[in-house]
Structure 1
Amino acid sequence: MIRQSSLTILSALALVMDLVSAQSRDLTLQQLGPIEAPSLSVNGAASIQGNGNISARGLKSEADGSAAFSVNPLWAHRIPDLHVMSYANAIAYKTTRDGDSWESALGIDYVSETGHNEPWVSGKAVRVGDNILGVTGNPEGYVYRVVKAGVLGGASPTAGPKSAPFMNGTAQLQWINFDNLAAKIPFTNTVVVRGDAGKTWLNNFNYSMMPLSNPPKYATNTEWNFYNGSGYHCDLFTGISCGGLTVFQGGPYRSTSIIGMATLANTDTFAAEWGITMKDRKLTRDASIDIATGGKMALGTGRYANVFGTTQYSETVWRDESAAPYAVSLGGSYTQAAIDLQSGKTPVALALAAGQRICFFGNNNCFVKDNKQGKILYQVNGTTVMSIADDGTIRSKGAIIQNTTP
């Protein structure tokens, strides 16, 4: 067991290291203090010994500074004058295995099998050690530990942090945690920025593809894999939420964006083929993108040219070539109009190809342009009942009556 006064695993990985010299850019480890613990190993890829030594497959650095890591900075191809840069990394790694294994510098294998919280139910018998989730008292959820077995009472407990053990029915409970914090997490990063802090980032994932003799078929900066084999669907109807990536953002002041994308060099070579891709017909059951927010609008394009520059597209802003009953289906309760073209500056509000129709009332009443005849046809149930020729001639099956009441 590592005592509180000693280095923890993470602080051991963050040993203070000399800055990179302009000539060699080698790193030397300096130990903060003794690690009063037996050897610690992370999946065989890296280990911290009780004497303070850190080793990894293919690399080893002694705590006394007798060995040093040789670093080749990831962004060296972008920084010609490397002598102005300093690097201090706790782990540097170079692959040594062939294609016979999954090779990582630091890997964590994690299995979660404990920590379930049972919702409070009046009259339920509980045992010592059970975790009970209160249904009232705090929106973040209060979790209680059963310290004396019994039967839960008639009202959900509301006692909060630092409360003394209390009776609920014939069971005795003790507040232990907030439900949204009672989670099992293999790795957590927490950064607090305050005072005179400079540029501070939580994570920096850099991936560089240099000249390759055999380019890979698949390469990505970060891959998230989420598999649901729980026996439960996660959707609006079950009340269970699960997924690959969730981002929460808040604070008393606004942030620029929740997710931002930009190029490193805005040139005609382009940074990527697409900005976001979604593929596979069975990716989603309902909507590929669902927006349920407030604000001025759900989607905006080219609105801040003075900030981001002029937004230009060589073909179109939106193109749909899918196979669907409708390209756009508008079913909301709009206070003014389903489509507003009043602020548009283009002389043509709607452009149709020959043969395309504008229809009303379940597609029974339609206008269509017949280029061969040179006419705009008005059809009811597929039968033409009126036409307007390009020369202005109007023909109608029914009578055209002049009246003060159209």
Structure 2
Amino acid sequence: MLNSLDLPRRPQDTRVVVAMSGGVDSSVCAALLKEQGYDVIGVTLQLYDHGAAIHRKGACCAGQDIHDAREVADRIGIPHYVLDYESRFKEAVIDRFADSYVAGETPIPCVECNQRVKFRDLLGTARDLGADVLATGHYVASRAVPGGRGLFRPRDAERDQSYFMFATTREQLDILRFPLGEMTKPETRQAAERFGLSVAAKPDSQDICFVPSGRYAQVIEKLKPGAAVPGEIVHLDGRVLGQHQGVIHYTIGQRKGLGIATGEPLHVIRLDAEAARVIVGPREALATRHVALRDVNWIGDGALENLPAEGLEIAVRVRSTRAPKPALLHFGPEGPTIELAEAEDGVSPGQAAVFYDHADGQARVLGGGFIRGARPQTVFAYGGQTAAA
């Protein structure tokens, strides 16, 4: 007979390490498992200089959060350890974030954090502590599937974090568990109140924990002095419309804050970091149906290389805030590509395309990859010449 974590042993004979960020979700995760009788150990990672963030709302894995995690562990009666992962986090996440922005991409540091720190290094720590599983407070679900475990969207679609989990491997899924996958956020807060946790009403952390002000360019300039190279703002038709102070100040699809006035609504269509150019054009130029990918992680059935010649029907998200849309996944000589059934705007290199087996409900996550580039749907003609996004 299996316990609630799908293991063939009694809860009291099952050791669970819980990644405790100091927020309400991971705190309830630990409390629920403790209540069910599991041998629970809480682990909190100090990921960056907590001195500057200790009093800041919305921080994650910093001073106040470490204090909150320790307080919750004391409240529910479990051992709690704080591990200094600052240097590892800077190398694996913060530096890569800065390099990606300098290259004209729009990175997703939460994916890098899960992939390179939490679900790799922390899993190793869990094994060192004799854990049978590592549990987190993410809103995703995992279930047994033929040949192992599969990753699924959670019951609470509004809190769905599966977009940030596509890089989780099959081997990691075997040891990972997500107790909140079948709960809603209101239910989680109610549970925190029932357990008497001090974090019951604590605000959710912001996505990018190490950017205190939300001003990415300031952080990048501090990490990479001289990264903001001035250059030209160029229209798709070749007209130079103005100057900019670095491509790190722009993202694909951006309309406001371009610093130019032409009498027509313009959006950032492409960032040419090598030439220090920001290319702008009409909104229609953002539309694409063909997306090239890199660093694809496949956790569906079979092998990615064995996809049908006509492509595999999937649903895909090209932004964390967008719903899955129908698409075909191809694997050809140039690597994996996505063919969208309907055009999407603002598909940006550095973001992720995450695959699902269908578009609705608690769909299974089949994997995903980082966006390498997108082919424009329309070629625009200006004054007798053609210009593509």
Give the TM-score category using the shorter length.
Answer: under 0.3
Normalised TM-score (structure 1): 0.21
Greater relative CO, 1 or 2 (CA 8 Å, sep 6+): 2
Could you say which structure has the higher strand fraction?
Answer: 2
Could you say which structure has the higher helix fraction?
Answer: 2
Higher-Rg structure is 1
